[in-house]
């Protein structure tokens, strides 16, 4: 993800570069649902999931438009609290990955369904330490499991997709546990919704929203649940 300090002219020039760079990302596809599923407690009103899949602008934008999701916050996971700042995470030396914490109603959508959307449209899980034009460990594909059950489901799902050769090559997605999540700076929140025409967003992230609507019409909601004044759709 490029610096927010770029001028309009620089962004326009950068957009031309992004268009010219060939993409090795997998085309979006609706991958098979997981055969194993997380069973939420009957009393649970909300659950959380944390995923990393490249620039958090696009990942957040996707999950804000998923039915059953009440909130999706951009942030950092994998490193220490003292380095959970954008200018430090961008160095690639903090252990953090740009991540999104998803709050959802398990009675409306399952953890497995969130994983299915994550692997299908939110990012390319075959890319190692990069997504599109962004490179570095801060853009790695990682499931930050909140508990042992989430870790088990994610591990079995990755094995399922690999065994079926769903992508034709192994997934690069890792699973990390016991890693706290730290919310990103306010100016990163709802960035896709607030800046749909910004060149980076238009090129790299808006197609993900189209893919979500096309591949998961039963889970798509037109009105996103925003951090700044959450809306349900």
Average pLDDT over every residue of 107-111: 95
pLDDT-derived band at 20 (thresholds 50, 70, 90) equals: very low
Reported confidence tier of residue 43, pLDDT bands at 50, 70, 90: low
Question: What pLDDT, on a 0 to 100 scale, did the predictor assign at position 63?
Answer: 98
How many whole angstroms separate alpha carbon 145 and alpha carbon 89?
A: 20
112-127 tens-digit pLDDT? 999 999 999 999 999 9
pLDDT at position 15 is 43
Q: Is-contact 140 76, C-beta < 8 A?
A: no
Q: Is 103 a catalytic residue?
A: no
> Who contacts 111 (Cβ-Cβ below 8 Å, separation ≥6)?
37, 38, 40, 47, 49, 150, 153
Query: What is the percentage of the chain residues whose pLDDT exceeds 90?
Result: 80
71-77-80-86 Cα dihedral, nearest 10 degrees: -80
Q: How many CB atoms lie within 10 A of CB 60?
A: 32
Pairing assessment for the beta strands 141-145 and 47-53 based on DSSP bridges: antiparallel
In the structure, what pLDDT confidence band is assigned to residue 36 with cuts at 50, 70 and 90? confident
Res. 12: pLDDT tops 60: no
pLDDT at 39 (0 to 100): 64
Catalytic position from the list 55, 89, 161, 209: 55
Mean pLDDT of 70-88: 98
pLDDT over 60 (residue 230): no
The domain spans of the chain are 43-207
Poorest-pLDDT segment among 2-6, 18-22, 67-71, 166-170: 18-22
Task: State both tokens at 179.
Answer: 């890693």
Q: Which CATH architecture has domain 43-207?
A: 2-Layer Sandwich (3.30)
- The full DSSP string for 49-118 is EEEEES-HHHHHHHHTTBTTEEEEEEEEESS-GGG-SHHHHTTT-SS-EEEEEEEE-TTTS-HHHHHHHI
pLDDT digits (tens, 9 = 90+) for 145-178: 999 999 999 999 999 999 999 999 999 999 999 9
Judge whether residue 204 has pLDDT over 70: yes
């Amino acid at each position: 993800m490029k610096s927010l300090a770029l001028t309009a002219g620089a962004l326009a020039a950068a957009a031309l570069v992004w268009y010219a760079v060939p993409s090795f990302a997998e085309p979006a596809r609706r991958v098979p649902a997981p055969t194993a599923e997380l069973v939420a407690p009957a009393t649970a009103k909300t659950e959380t999931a944390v995923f990393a899949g490249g620039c958090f602008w696009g990942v957040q934008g996707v999950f804000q438009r998923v039915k059953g999701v009440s909130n999706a916050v951009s942030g950092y996971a994998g490193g220490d609290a003292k380095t959970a700042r954008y200018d430090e995470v961008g160095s690639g030396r903090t252990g953090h990955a740009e991540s999104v914490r998803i709050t959802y109603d398990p009675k409306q959508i399952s953890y497995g369904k969130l994983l299915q959307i994550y692997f299908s449209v939110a990012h390319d899980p075959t890319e190692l330490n990069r997504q599109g034009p962004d490179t570095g460990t801060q853009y790695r594909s990682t499931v930050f499991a909140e508990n042992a059950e989430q870790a088990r489901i994610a591990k079995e799902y990755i094995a399922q997709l690999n065994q079926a050769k769903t992508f034709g090559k192994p997934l690069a997605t890792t699973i990390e546990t016991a890693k706290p999540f730290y919310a990103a700076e306010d100016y990163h929140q709802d960035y896709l919704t607030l800046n749909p025409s910004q060149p980076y967003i238009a090129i790299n992230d808006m197609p993900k929203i189209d893919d979500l609507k096309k591949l998961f019409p039963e889970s798509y909601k037109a009105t996103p649940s925003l951090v700044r004044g959450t809306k349900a759709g």
